[in-house]
Each structure stands twice: as structure tokens, then as C-alpha cells.
Chain A
């Protein structure tokens, strides 16, 4: 049988993407409830995703907004 932590690692990405079946999710959560190391790693991954998103998000420059609006096709 596969090492439970290795199995939990395989489940991590799909777990955080909310694409596991109820049964798989329950299985992952059972292991997480008793394994502090895996819990930490899951929490890290979750924080990382939020942190990366924040770090790379750039707002659209105001000039570009104006340029896009100017591309509209005038009514005849």
C-alpha cells in the first residue's frame, strides 16, 4: 500500500482545486486530521496560491482603458 503521506501529496492539487469526489475528499481529510506535517503543507500551498495571485496582479493602466474604449465602432 502507498505511504499515506505520499497519497495525500497526490491529492493536494485536486483537493485545493475542488475537483475530488466526495469519497476522495473524505479520505484526504481523514489523513489530514491526524497528520500535522501534511496539514502544514496543505496550508502552505493554499497560502502560496493566494500570495502568488496577490503578488502578480497588475491593474490595467488607465490609458489602455481609454484606448480600448476608443476602438468601439461608431454608430452610423
Chain B
């Protein structure tokens, strides 16, 4: 075969692969956004991060290995960009006082609940605003893991890869992050009760 038609065919295949890559990436954008929204500090920040992430992904599409987890790949780019933006002042998480136990929030809500102990009704005592605010109060290092696993449904292993930290660190930050979230929720619930 002549070199020219061969080259033309290669270019056509590459163009087709790239178009497919872009379409697949765009089809995941809703799911990526749901996570990105809470990795970023604000809606505006999430908007910018998403655009930077997709611009970079479209430029470096060749580095994606077909058949691997594209959503995780996109979030890896996004978290790196988020860190590059200087979002984090300190890398080491601040140690905070220990958050009682895992049952603290339930006990507090049930205590103030006029005898209502049905778990779903107890949960509904928290307002949507309280929850959004409480999540934003969780320090970044803990929140990143919490958001990836609890909102993004990523496995511990995927979260470890996205954030470039060991799986053991994912587990401990997740556990701590959930407790901090519950402590924040308990504080807002107590404020409302008084």
C-alpha cells in the first residue's frame, strides 16, 4: 500500500477515536460535576474547574487508556488542577478535637426529638442548607475523600488513585471526614434547638 493512503487512513482512525473520546467524556460531565461541585469551594470555582479539566482532557486525550475508568481519569485531572490553583494552604490536615463517637449525631437528634425515634424522621430534622453548609465546613483533605466515596461512589482504591494517596489514608480520612460532618450537623441542629 502507498504511504499516502496509509497516512490518510491513520489520520481518519485517529479523528474517529478522538471524537468518540470527546463524546464519552462529555456524556460523563453530569456525574463529574456532582463531585466537582463539592471538591471546589464555590459554584463559580466548580464551573471554572470543569472547563479547565475538559480543556486539558481534550488536549491530552491520547494519554487516556481505552477500557479504563474515564470518570476516575477526569477526576484525577480535576483534583490536580484544584491543588494547582493553590486552593490548599496546608497539605497536612489540621488535627481537631476528636468528634465524640459515631453515634453522637443520632443521639443528639433523637434527644431533641419529642420522642420521635424513627430514623428517617430523625434525619429529616436536618435542613438541606445545614447539610450543604456542614459539608463545606469539612476541611479539604477529609472532604475530598468523603465527596469521592460518598457522593461519587468511587471505591477506596479509585479514590486513592485519584488523590494519589495510600488506600489506608483514604480509609482514615473518610472515617474522620464523616465524623467531622456529623459533628458539624450536630452543632447546627443544636443551635436550631436553642
Chain A residues in the interface with B (C-beta under 8 A): 9, 12-13, 17, 19, 40-41, 43-49, 51-53, 55-61, 64-65, 67-69, 71-73, 75
Query: B124: which of A46, A51, A71 is its contact (CB, 8 Å)?
Result: A51
Say if the beta carbon of B151 comes within 8 Å of chain A: yes
Q: Give every chain A residue within 8 A of B180 (Cβ-Cβ).
A: none
CB distance B131 to A19 under 8 Å?
A: no
In the complex, the chain B residue whose C-beta lies closest to that of A59 is B30
CB distance A67 to B132 under 8 Å?
A: no
CB distance B103 to A60 under 8 Å?
A: no
Say if the beta carbon of B34 comes within 8 Å of chain A: yes
B25 to chain A, nearest CB (A): 9
Q: Give every chain A residue within 8 A of B135 (Cβ-Cβ).
A: 52, 56
Query: A67: which of B51, B119, B122 is its contact (CB, 8 Å)?
Result: B51
User: Contact mask B96-136 → A, CB, 8 Å, 1/0?
Assistant: 00000111011000000000010110111010100110010
Q: What separation, in Å, do the CA atoms of A56 and B151 have in the docked complex?
A: 9
Q: List 23 A-B contacts (CB under 8 A).
A: A9-B103, A17-B156, A40-B117, A43-B119, A44-B123, A47-B119, A48-B105, A51-B126, A55-B126, A56-B38, A56-B135, A58-B34, A58-B43, A64-B50, A64-B51, A68-B26, A68-B29, A71-B54, A72-B22, A72-B26, A73-B22, A73-B58, A73-B59
Give the tally of cross-chain contacts (CB within 8 A). Answer: 95
Q: What separation, in Å, do the CA atoms of A48 and B156 have in the docked complex?
A: 20
Task: A40-B119, A65-B29 given; name 20 further pairs at CB < 8 Å.
Answer: A9-B101, A9-B103, A13-B174, A45-B102, A45-B106, A46-B119, A47-B119, A48-B105, A49-B150, A56-B38, A56-B131, A58-B43, A59-B30, A59-B34, A60-B29, A60-B34, A64-B33, A64-B47, A69-B26, A71-B54
CB distance A71 to B58 under 8 Å?
A: yes
